[in-house]
């Protein structure tokens, strides 16, 4: 049934952990509906007092607006969960809706544990350490700051200045634990259409990023307004040359103009055939 209502709906994400999972799943679901949502997140709801405070907020909104707030929740404690369910909100346990049929399929009873997904448990401590090491590597090898230890890089991002290399490097490190270096092509590289000697041994790890000239000019203008560096003509020239270089060396590349950093990272991983591990 279509809903043409124009307005705002109140949404609560409530969890006894970080609430990150709730937000991700909730955002994915809500994005299907063309209305505005006022979203509030409440992590680490582990006490009866805090749960009662949140329930009071939900009930107050219900009373003042006449519409039930949407409540996405994931709570291990039955006592805390009952408090939230007693509110006037439209409550949905996203995790439980997946666990119940999976439990039946596996013929196994799940073992609910606090902070298992994002907490520092014995099982995920090594993965956490690897992720932090990947972030440190990305920062040390950002924008060509260091060309040492490139043999440790799983991906080397290349492209013109301000095309999205740094945020993509950090996202890949933080989300997937990948060691990513990035290198900005300078005028000498593009004029000769030659790959820098330092990068040539690692051609199989290179991935290029490009962007529309108009978008690049706007981004650069925010940094250096009125400069040749930010001019549309200069942006067109650099992008044309770097894309020729990508084609010459058969470097896989992506136009990032209309993609979020999440989409860029995911397409990169898929294109390069990298084992995808979410931390």
Q: 11: Cβ–Cβ under 8 A, 6 or more apart, which residues? A: 26, 30, 37, 38, 39, 40, 69, 70, 71, 72
**Gap between the Cα atoms of 78 and 59, Å rounded:** 20
Is there a binding annotation on residue 161? yes
Is there a binding annotation on residue 164? yes
> For residue 156, what are the CA distances in angstroms to 88, 121, 151, 162, 181?
51, 31, 10, 16, 5
Is there a binding annotation on residue 119? no
Is there a binding annotation on residue 71? no
> For residue 114, what are the CA distances in angstroms to 35, 74, 76, 129?
33, 10, 7, 20
Is there a binding annotation on residue 160? yes
**Residue 13: both structure tokens together:** 């994400």
Is there a binding annotation on residue 29? no
Say if residue 177 is exposed, middle or buried (CB neighbours under 10 Å; 0-12, 13-18, 19+).
buried
Annotated binding site: 159-166
Annotation: binding site for ADP: 159-166
């Amino acid at each position: 049934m279509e809903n043409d209502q124009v307005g705002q709906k109140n949404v609560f994400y409530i969890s006894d952990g970080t609430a990150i999972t709730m937000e991700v799943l909730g955002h994915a679901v809500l994005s299907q509906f063309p209305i505005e949502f006022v979203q509030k997140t409440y992590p680490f709801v582990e006490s009866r007092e805090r749960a009662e405070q949140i329930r009071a907020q939900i009930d107050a909104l219900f009373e003042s607006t006449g519409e039930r707030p949407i409540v996405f929740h994931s709570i291990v404690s039955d006592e805390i969960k009952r408090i939230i369910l007693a509110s006037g909100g439209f409550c949905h346990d996203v995790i439980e809706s997946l666990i119940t049929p999976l439990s039946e399929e596996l013929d196994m009873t799940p073992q609910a544990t606090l902070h298992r997904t994002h907490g520092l448990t014995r099982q995920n401590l090594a993965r956490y350490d690897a992720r932090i090491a990947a972030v440190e590597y990305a920062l040390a090898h950002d924008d060509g700051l260091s060309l040492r230890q490139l043999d440790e890089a799983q991906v080397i991002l290349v492209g013109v200045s301000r095309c999205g290399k740094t945020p993509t490097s950090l996202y890949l490190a933080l989300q997937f634990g990948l060691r990513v270096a990035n290198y900005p092509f300078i005028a000498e590289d593009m004029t000769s259409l030659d790959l820098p000697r330092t990068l040539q041994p690692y051609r199989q790890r290179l991935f290029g990023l490009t962007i529309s000239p108009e978008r690049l000019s706007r981004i650069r203008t925010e940094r250096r307004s009125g400069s040749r560096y930010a001019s549309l003509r200069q942006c067109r020239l650099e992008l044309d040359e770097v894309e020729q270089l990508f084609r010459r060396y058969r470097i896989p590349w992506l136009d990032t103009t209309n993609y979020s950093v999440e989409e860029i990272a995911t397409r990169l991983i898929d294109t390069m055939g990298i084992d995808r591990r979410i931390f």
